[in-house]
């Protein structure tokens, strides 16, 4: 799929050549040589513009979306909202000024609401595109707004803010308490239950609470807030990654449905999210619609006629990577909720967020599928599932009349917006962000391959050739192991572990979707639980051998292995159980000791599910594949990377890994980021991370 601006650049080059005389063409052929492409690298990666969150206007003519750019000197990303006109094909920036603007959401009258930090705190703003002029504040609250949802009638808005539950809807009182705490000289915090910290923040006693306000004729909030999550001891939306996809109004605007997990004393080992329905004006208590399911229920959407509630649900309590099945319930008769029924129960994929078709007969969703992340339509009556896209990674979508608008990326291209007909058509590129930059960068070609892995199952992987690949040459190998482990390293453009950064440095990148990966059926995903060190390792070993046999440009004498999170755990495990192929290893935020991990990680449900019980109940399970038990066999040089604010795999795991390496006299380095969490997010830190990693693996793979 070509990008329009690239075509225009090619045309411009052709026209320029046409102005040259024949003599010049004959006498100065080197003048016509295309400029050499610069290999893709981390510096280019962090500066790319990032397209996300497409939203189609009510009249179907325009797409609002978020674009993230990088202020490298300020060491942060800046978000703005852009508008693409589907009829004229033009694209323009809508928001400017200070701060970031994101999360564009359309009102039925064509006004655009969004979140912005332009006032110094994050509030909801409104831009009246028909009238023109500057954006106007919708909320001016004493607390930041983290998420919002507009009622279909545009006369009410639901917002989420972090506030103290004991202070109810008095947001000013929460702000006052924050100010009083900041003024205190003592800093001790007393806790009575977990979570004490989550992802990268310590708990402060607040909850993400959901409120609603009436909107006046100018679209600004008016009156007092209605507390929609009153009595719910949980976060709405969920933390750390939940958003407005967990909240919806019914089409008549009278009710709000949201997902929440009751915390109590079990929050760190519970995955029991339920759907709650509450009057939009807060006149009654929230009603639990899914109390019968003790696993996750999330992502509610209501059909245009208001009669059908669709959502996604898991079956097994305590398992965060269970298949998210599509469920529906009748809700249109006197407010009564009918029994849940599964749609497409035999479709062995885990659904992302849902959208109804305008006639309410279909649902659209995206899902991992054999190394891609595709867009699908699901017929509600028959359960028939149809793939709407092919290769690539769909990253957000919206309906526009007879078409679907979606963001998509591949291993060689960051997100752009595309359009396809609902009846089926080739994707049409709508945006061309980064085109001039990408035109000057070299990327490695890639290919998916398969082999027989554990249990003789078909397992898939990818090989990315180095930039400037020459047939007949051999290249060092960067063998990358993905995290999760219930995830997929597939045909997508990643901003932390991008194989093209290794291809740009002269490496051939190889990565395997081992057992435990998503997109290959739930049984394939389930296979890793209780088997972290054997089944995936067998897949990695067989996948590596298959790649060497298939691609003669891979130099097995100059191979390194790298991984983060579960991938970092696997690096530690391989150091004691499969070290022979590797000249060097890179472990980012990896588990070193399963036993200490069981008592220091924050989300206990993950560790306890993967080890088939708690450590005190099943100690042998934690020792079976524990890297710490094999340190005596370690010998390969290793770079350890660790985030100081990583509470998923805490700092001490990285320090212990480095200590073991140093104590054994193995060449090693520790790269510690005190201001990063489980990921490296700041632009300059990202560049440092990439440069350090590449320097390390080049050091050990240099030709004699």
Q: DSSP letters along 643-665, please? A: ETT-SSS-HHHHHHHHHHHHHTT
DSSP label at residue 244: G
Average pLDDT over residues 609-619: 98
Which band of pLDDT confidence, cut at 50, 70 and 90, is reported for residue 33? low
pLDDT greater than 50 at residue 248: yes
pLDDT greater than 90 at residue 32: no
| Token output for 662 | 């140093």
For the chain, give every domain's residue range.
442-701
Using DSSP's 3-state secondary structure scheme, residue 569 falls into helix
Q: Which pLDDT score is estimated for 132?
A: 84
pLDDT greater than 60 at residue 636: yes
For CA atoms 203, 206, 210, 212, the dihedral sign is: negative
**Cis (ω within 30 of 0) for the bond into 237?**
yes
Mean model confidence pLDDT for the chain: 94
Q: Could you write out the three-class secondary structure of 509-550? A: EEEEECCCCCCCCHHHHHCCCCCCCCHHHHHHHHHHHHHHHH
pLDDT greater than 90 at residue 1: no
| Token output for 184 | 């205190």
- Name the CATH superfamily, with its identifier, for domain 442-701: Alpha/Beta hydrolase fold, catalytic domain (3.40.50.1820)
Taking alpha carbons only, the member of 103, 54, 59 closest to residue 80 is 103
Q: Which pLDDT score is estimated for 31?
A: 43
Taking alpha carbons only, the member of 306, 406, 297, 288 closest to residue 356 is 306
pLDDT greater than 70 at residue 2: no
Backbone angles phi, psi at 181, to 5 degrees: -65, -40
Scan for tokens 């990008």, then name that residue. Answer: 3
Q: Which pLDDT score is estimated for 529?
A: 98
Using DSSP's 3-state secondary structure scheme, residue 465 falls into coil
Angle at 551 between CA 547 and CA 555, to 5 degrees: 85
Average pLDDT over residues 491-498: 97
Q: Which pLDDT score is estimated for 243?
A: 97
Scan for tokens 């590797």, then name that residue. Answer: 582
Which band of pLDDT confidence, cut at 50, 70 and 90, is reported for residue 259? very high
The tens digit of pLDDT for each residue in 342-385 reads: 999 999 999 999 999 999 999 999 999 999 999 999 999 999 99
Q: Which pLDDT score is estimated for 352?
A: 97
Q: Which pLDDT score is estimated for 263?
A: 94
Helix (H) or strand (E) holding 169: none
Distance of CA 466 to the CA centre of its chain: 26
Q: Which pLDDT score is estimated for 515?
A: 98
Q: Which pLDDT score is estimated for 401?
A: 86
Average pLDDT over residues 437-459: 98
Which band of pLDDT confidence, cut at 50, 70 and 90, is reported for residue 22? very low
Alpha carbon distance 529, 66 (integer Å): 37
Alpha carbon distance 279, 252 (integer Å): 11
pLDDT greater than 50 at residue 3: no
Average pLDDT over residues 10-18: 31
The tens digit of pLDDT for each residue in 175-208 reads: 999 999 999 999 999 999 999 999 999 999 999 9
Average pLDDT over residues 119-124: 97
Scan for tokens 């290793």, then name that residue. Answer: 638
Which band of pLDDT confidence, cut at 50, 70 and 90, is reported for residue 34? low
pLDDT greater than 80 at residue 652: yes
Q: Which pLDDT score is estimated for 592?
A: 98
Whole-number percent of the chain with pLDDT over 90: 92
The tens digit of pLDDT for each residue in 548-583 reads: 999 999 999 999 999 999 999 999 999 999 999 999
Alpha carbon distance 559, 553 (integer Å): 12
The tens digit of pLDDT for each residue in 309-353 reads: 999 999 999 999 999 999 999 998 777 899 999 999 999 999 999
pLDDT greater than 80 at residue 4: no
The tens digit of pLDDT for each residue in 388-403 reads: 999 999 999 999 989 9
């Amino acid at each position: 799929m070509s990008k329009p601006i690239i075509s225009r650049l090619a045309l411009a080059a052709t026209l320029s050549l046409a102005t040259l005389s024949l003599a010049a063409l004959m006498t100065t052929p080197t003048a016509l040589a295309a400029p050499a492409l610069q290999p893709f690298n981390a510096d280019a990666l962090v500066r790319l513009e990032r397209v996300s969150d497409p939203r189609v206007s009510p009249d179907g003519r325009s797409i609002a979306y978020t674009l993230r750019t990088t202020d490298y000197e300020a060491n942060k990303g800046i978000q703005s909202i852009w508008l693409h006109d589907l009829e004229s094909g033009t694209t323009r920036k809508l928001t400017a000024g200070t701060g970031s603007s994101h999360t564009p959401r359309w009102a039925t009258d064509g006004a655009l609401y969004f979140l912005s930090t332009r006032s110094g705190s994050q509030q909801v703003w409104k831009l009246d595109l028909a009238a023109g002029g500057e954006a106007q504040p919708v909320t001016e609250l004493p607390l930041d707004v983290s998420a919002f949802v507009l009622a279909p009638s545009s006369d009410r808005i639901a917002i989420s803010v972090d506030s103290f539950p004991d202070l109810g809807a008095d947001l000013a009182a929460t702000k006052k308490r924050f100010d009083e705490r900041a003024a205190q000289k003592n800093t001790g915090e007393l806790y009575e239950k977990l979570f004490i910290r989550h992802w990268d923040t310590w708990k402060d006693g607040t909850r993400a609470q959901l409120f609603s306000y009436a909107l006046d004729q100018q679209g600004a909030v008016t009156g007092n807030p209605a507390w929609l999550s009153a009595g719910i001891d949980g976060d709405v939306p969920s933390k750390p990654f939940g958003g407005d996809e967990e909240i919806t109004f019914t089409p008549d605007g009278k009710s709000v449905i949201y997902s929440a997990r009751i915390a109590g004393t079990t929050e760190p080992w519970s995955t029991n999210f339920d759907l709650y329905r509450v009057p939009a004006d807060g006149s009654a208590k929230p009603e639990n619609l899914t109390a019968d399911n003790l696993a996750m229920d999330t992502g509610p959407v209501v059909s245009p006629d208001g009669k059908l509630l669709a959502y996604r649900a898991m079956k097994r309590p305590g398992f965060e990577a269970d298949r998210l099945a599509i469920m529906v319930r009748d809700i249109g008769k006197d407010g009564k909720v009918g029994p849940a029924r599964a749609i497409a129960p035999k479709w062995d994929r885990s659904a992302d967020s849902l959208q109804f078709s305008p006639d309410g007969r279909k649902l659209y969703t995206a899902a991992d599928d054999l190394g891609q992340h595709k867009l699908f339509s699901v017929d509600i009556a028959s359960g028939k599932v149809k793939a709407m896209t092919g290769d690539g990674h769909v990253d957000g979508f919206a309906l526009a009349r007879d078409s679907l608008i979606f963001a998509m990326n591949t291993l060689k291209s960051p997100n752009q917006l595309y359009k396809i007909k609902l009846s089926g058509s080739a994707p049409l590129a709508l945006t061309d962000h980064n085109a001039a930059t990408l035109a000057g960068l070299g990327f490695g070609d890639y290919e998916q391959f398969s082999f027989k892995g554990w249990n003789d199952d078909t397992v898939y992987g990818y090989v990315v050739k180095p930039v400037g690949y020459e047939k007949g040459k051999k290249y060092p190998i960067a063998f990358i192991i993905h995290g999760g482990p219930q995830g997929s390293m597939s045909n997508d453009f990643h901003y932390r572990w991008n194989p093209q950064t290794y291809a740009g440095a002269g490496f051939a990148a190889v990565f395997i979707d081992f057992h435990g990966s998503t997109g290959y059926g739930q049984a394939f995903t389930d296979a890793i639980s209780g088997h972290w060190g054997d089944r995936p390792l067998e897949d990695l070993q067989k996948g590596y051998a298959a790649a060497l046999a298939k691609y003669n440009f891979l130099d097995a004498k100059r191979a390194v292995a790298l991984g983060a999170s579960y991938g970092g755990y696997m690096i530690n495990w391989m150091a004691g159980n499969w070290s022979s192929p590797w000249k060097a290893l890179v472990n980012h935020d990896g588990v070193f000791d399963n036993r200490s991990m069981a008592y220091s990680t924050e989300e206990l449900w993950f560790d306890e599910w993967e080890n088939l019980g708690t450590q005190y109940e099943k100690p042998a399970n934690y020792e079976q594949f524990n890297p710490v038990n094999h340190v005596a066999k370690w010998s390969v040089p290793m770079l350890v990377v660790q985030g100081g604010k990583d509470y998923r795999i805490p700092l001490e795991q990285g320090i212990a890994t480095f200590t073991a390496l140093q104590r054994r006299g193995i060449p090693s380095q520790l790269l510690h980021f005190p201001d990063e969490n489980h990921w490296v997010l700041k632009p300059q830190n990202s560049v440092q991370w990439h440069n350090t990693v590449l320097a390390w693996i080049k050091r050990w793979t240099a030709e004699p």
